[in-house]
Amino acid sequence: MSPVIEVHARARLITDGPLTRPVPVDLRYDPADERRTVHIGLPDGTDWAFGRDLLERGLRTPIERGAVRVWPCGRTQLIVELHSTDGVEVFQFEIRTLIRFLARTRAQTPATPVTSATPPDAGREPQPPSRTTTTAARRPERDARPERGAQPARG
């Protein structure tokens, strides 16, 4: 059994105001999940789950599936827009962070024999995004070590 991959990252929360603010997020992947689902955990305890292919495709071209929209923003950023009954949250990620995370998830995915006539996603339906909120109190703040190459958050 392969271990669950969990990466603590920073994203920028895009708001209506003139300033954005960095927020800690958790990127999680469990290779035992047959649907190849990735999770984005937000600081308020909300967990968004959707197919890994949505992030992979969003690195190259705009894509929308249900309540999640993903698109590249320039050469170094990726925008993830999450719609819920509470409103819309828009996050900006460093593409290199997501590329490293996705590369680790592909390395943990069990190999499935694929014939030249069978596409890699054959036999599985794209998973619709889902949003859950944990009932526990807010997650404790992560330690203040920034991701390598990341700029420290200011005020």
Geometric angle at alpha carbon 11, from 138 and 130, rounded to 5° = 65
- pTM for the model stands at 0.70
Query: What b/e string do you get for 95-105 counting C-beta neighbours within 10 Å, with b at 16 or more?
Result: bebbeebbeeb
Please report the pLDDT score of residue 71 as a whole number. 97
Report all structural domains of the chain as residue ranges with CATH numbers, in order of start: 5-110 (2.30.31.20)
Residues 45-71 have pLDDT tens digits of 999 999 999 999 999 999 999 999 999
Q: Which residues pair with 94 in a beta bridge?
A: 77
Please report the pLDDT score of residue 1 as a whole number. 58
Please report the pLDDT score of residue 111 as a whole number. 61
* Contacts of 68 by beta carbon, 8 Å cutoff, 6+ apart: 48, 50, 54, 80, 81, 82, 83, 129
Element at 108 (helix H, strand E): helix 95-108
pLDDT values of the chain reduced to their tens digit, one per residue, 155 residues = 578 999 999 999 998 878 888 999 999 998 887 778 999 999 889 999 999 999 999 999 999 999 999 999 999 999 999 999 988 999 999 999 999 999 999 887 666 554 444 444 444 454 556 677 554 443 444 444 444 444 444 44
